[in-house]
Chains A and B, each alone.
Chain A
């Protein structure tokens, strides 16, 4: 039941992302200043926005976990944060390449958006070490959720704090109308949608994978096989229905 809509979702995200990139490459006008290099914008900004959205989504699932005590919510929160971290690495790498191309430096410290993203990324990097260092499963799940909620609240607050410091070069993508002409805006929004779909697909895929593995393990146990020795893992265990 977990993999039911996975195929549709996967096709939809491939089509949307490919369409978005095609729009970005052929339909959106070439940037007057930066030329072709500006096209990385259609990859970098959706990556960053979806990663941040994923962190907040993980926090939402963690709130639900704390409220209901349902272990599957903990698994959902874990996978959401896990996927966001991967997209976050992508956003940092593409951002760095873009910064090198357009500002001449790999990293710019006086730019709040970059710094805020890095701080949030570093904070979430401690999520897995935290889980790993708590052995009791219930406590691990509860503490991880407390962390996810705290960090989820921290994410917008941190951006607010650094945004109030005067922004210098990093463009604001969504709040200024004259920043993006219509064609660029359309291509960007399609790319953003595609990236969000990709995130949801990966998230569901990982959940399906974890459930399939848990089911396989319980079947093996029923067949009387010795429980395969598992390495220690930070990931929550899926419950077999």
Chain B
């Protein structure tokens, strides 16, 4: 299992390194969304719950792009067939894809959070604020990656793939949005960063756990052919 996961993960990273496709698209889309927010909200700076909402929505929409592309290469170039022929546990695919998507999201956030800090955020980016944001976003990324892998695998075999991903993915990710936005709001407050709200972090963690188990239980059925 461990070797299969690491092989799949290496394949995923090599693919992205040789022809960078997903990460630049996600990052570019995210920055453009921030600009769109600047004009549509008609605000030069945001703080508190508005800042949390802008950041979470931007990251979520950027993640949708990544989820849409997650299985395209496997579907079109025969990656699924190769994987199904190999005598390995099928859960390896779920774990590898979820880890790859988490990695993509983290890289995109490393670019987008500073960009958000320069372009829109009112309070200054301090080290203390950054580690809080990082902790919350990591928990949210895990949830987005698990659900995204599940929805991406579900949608890849349908005719209306690009439509199905946001239609199913966005409602499923609403608890992540609620949890991340509520947790981020005090951290990004103008009146000085508040403490991390433990309750919302616990909800994010619970969501990750439950959907991790669900994905583990049902993912095999999406690969059977």
Residues of A with Cβ closer than 8 Å to B? 66, 119-120, 122-123, 126, 129-130, 133-135, 139, 142-143, 145-147, 149-151, 153-154, 157-158, 160-162, 164-165
Contact = CB atoms under 8 A, between A and B. Distances in A.
B178 interface: yes
B158 A66 contact: no
B1 interface: no
A161 B168 contact: no
Interface string B182-196: 100000000000000
B69 to A, nearest CB: 18
A55 B217 CA distance: 19
Nearest to A131: B158
Interface in B171-225: 171-172, 174-175, 178-179, 182, 199, 203, 206-207, 210-211, 214, 217-218, 221-222, 224-225
A146 B154 contact: yes
A160 B203 CA distance: 9
20 contacts: A66-B221, A119-B174, A123-B168, A123-B172, A130-B158, A130-B164, A133-B158, A134-B157, A135-B159, A139-B157, A143-B221, A150-B150, A150-B211, A150-B214, A150-B218, A154-B172, A157-B175, A157-B207, A161-B179, A161-B203
A130 B154 contact: yes
Given A123-B171, A130-B164, A150-B172, A161 B207 contact: yes
B160 A146 contact: no
Nearest to B168: A126
B160 A149 contact: no
A129 B167 contact: yes
Contacts of B210: 153, 157
Contacts of A164: 199, 203
Contact of B218 (A123, A146, A161): A146
Contacts, number: 80
Contacts of B158: 130, 133-134, 143
Nearest to A121: B171
Interface string B82-117: 000000000000000000000000000000000000
A129 B214 contact: no
Contacts of A129: 160, 163-164, 167
Interface of B: 150, 154, 157-160, 163-164, 167-168, 171-172, 174-175, 178-179, 182, 199, 203, 206-207, 210-211, 214, 217-218, 221-222, 224-225
Dominant secondary structure of chain B at its interface with chain A? helix
Contacts of A149: 214, 217-218
A170 to B, nearest CB: 17
A147 B225 CA distance: 17
Contacts of B167: 126, 129
A130 to B, nearest CB: 6
Contacts of A126: 164, 167-168, 171
Contact of A153 (B160, B214, B221): B214
Contacts of B163: 129, 133
Contacts of A158: 174-175
Contacts of B225: 139
A146 B171 contact: no
Contacts of B211: 150, 153
B163 to A, nearest CB: 7
A149 B159 CA distance: 22
A35 B224 CA distance: 57
Contacts of B168: 123, 126, 130, 147
B210 to A, nearest CB: 6
